Amino acid sequence: MIRPLRVLGALATAAIGVLMVPFTVNDANAATAQSAYDFEFVSIEGDPMPLKTYQGKAMLVVNTASFCGYTPQYKGLEAVWKAYKDKGLVLVGVPSDSFAQEYDDNTKIKKFCDANYSITFPLTESNPVTGKNAHPFYKWVREAGGRTAVPSWNFNKVLIDSEGRFVRTFKSDVTPDSAELQAALTKALPKATSFPQH
């Protein structure tokens, strides 16, 4: 009887180890990443979305939601994207239900953004942005910027410079057209003034 129990115990331990691998790998990636460009999302259409595609550009990464008091900021974010995309900025929207104000279906999220705000900047699929299940990019943001850099609500804005380095975050109530954000964006941009479109 002892031997079968030992075998079962070993199998259970191995199974638990296998289940834990994805979390360990994600945490390791977040801890060892050299820049924001080391991370990859999946686009809202379901395609790979490696941030290294935007290497050499500054990024503004915003966790969005469809049913939030700040949702009208989509309009301002689209304006920022149009104003800065040819100057070396990529605006990335990360829909998230971390604060229970987002659809649980990526198709519905995309349809909402298209119908209500005509969004043209890149959107990822829905991702957690807080806690142990947060996307590795957001774990890296916490490592780079500390606890205050972690989104405390929807429409938190993470600014990355053109070297892929974390600059700072802007809380939800800092609007896309605010002088504070506009000045930081301008400073984070690369020196080149024109970039090909992706």
Whether residue 169 is predicted with pLDDT greater than 80 in this model: the reply is yes
Picking from 11-20, 59-68, 101-110, 131-140, which range would have the lowest pLDDT averaged per residue?
A: 11-20
Is residue 155 within 8 A of residue 125, CB to CB? The reply is: no
Pick 21-188's CATH classification: 3.40.30.10, 3.20.20.70, 1.20.1440.230, 3.20.10.10: 3.40.30.10
Stretch 40-47: mean pLDDT: 98
Average per-residue pLDDT in the chain? 87
| C-beta neighbour count of 169 within 10 angstroms | 20
Active site residue 113: no
In what helix (H) or strand (E) does residue 169 lie, and over which residues does it extend?
A: strand 166-170
Q: What is the pLDDT of residue 73?
A: 98
Per-residue pLDDT tens over the stretch 94-108: 999 999 999 999 999
- The whole-number average pLDDT for the span 172-176 is 98
Which of helix, strand or coil describes residue 40? strand
Tens digits of per-residue pLDDT, 46-83? 999 999 999 999 999 999 999 999 999 999 999 999 99
* CA nearest neighbour of 37 among 166, 191, 194, 170: 166
Set 68, 83, 174, 189: catalytic member: 68
Question: pTM for this one?
Answer: 0.82
Beta bridge partners of 41: 49
